[in-house]
Structure 1
Amino acid sequence: MPTTFIEHVNLTVTNPARTAKLMQHLFGWHIRWQGPARDGGTSIHVGDERLYLALYAPPAQAERRYPKGRPLNHVGIVVDDLDAIEAKVAAAGLTPFEHGDYDPGRRFYFLDFDGIEFEIVSYA
Structure 2
Amino acid sequence: MPKGTIEHANLTVSDIERSSELFQKLLGWHQRWRGAAMDGGETIHVGTDHAYLALYTDRQPHDRFEKGAPLNHVGFQVDDLDAAEGVVIEAGLEPFGHGDYEPGRRFYFFDWDGIEFEVVSYA
TM-score by length of 2: 0.91
Q: Which amino acid aligns with 2:85?
A: E
- 2:34 equivalent to 1:34: yes
Pairwise mapping of residues 1-12 of structure 1 onto structure 2 (< 5 A)? 3-12=3-12
- 2:29 equivalent to 1:64: no
SS at match of 1:20: helix
* Whole-angstrom distance in 1 between the partners of 2:61 and 2:113: 15
Once the two structures are TM-superposed, the CA of residue 67 in structure 1 deviates from its matched residue by 3.0
Residue in 2 that maps onto 1:55: 55
Once the two structures are TM-superposed, the CA of residue 28 in structure 1 deviates from its matched residue by 1.3
Residue in 1 that maps onto 2:94: 95
Q: Which amino acid aligns with 1:96?
A: P
SS at match of 2:92: coil
* Whole-angstrom distance in 1 between the partners of 2:102 and 2:74: 19
Once the two structures are TM-superposed, the CA of residue 68 in structure 1 deviates from its matched residue by 6.0
Long gaps (5+) in structure 2: none
Residue in 1 that maps onto 2:15: 15
Residue in 2 that maps onto 1:25: 25
Aligned-residue CA RMSD (Å): 1.7
Q: 1:38-85: CA deviations, max 9, x gaps?
A: 111110000011110000001x3x343773642011100011111110
Once the two structures are TM-superposed, the CA of residue 91 in structure 1 deviates from its matched residue by 1.4
SS at match of 2:44: strand
* Whole-angstrom distance in 2 between the partners of 1:18 and 1:114: 11
Count of residues in Structure 1 that have an aligned counterpart in Structure 2? 121
* Structure 1 residue ranges, 4+ long, deviating more than 4 angstroms after superposition: none
SS at match of 1:90: helix
SS at match of 1:120: strand
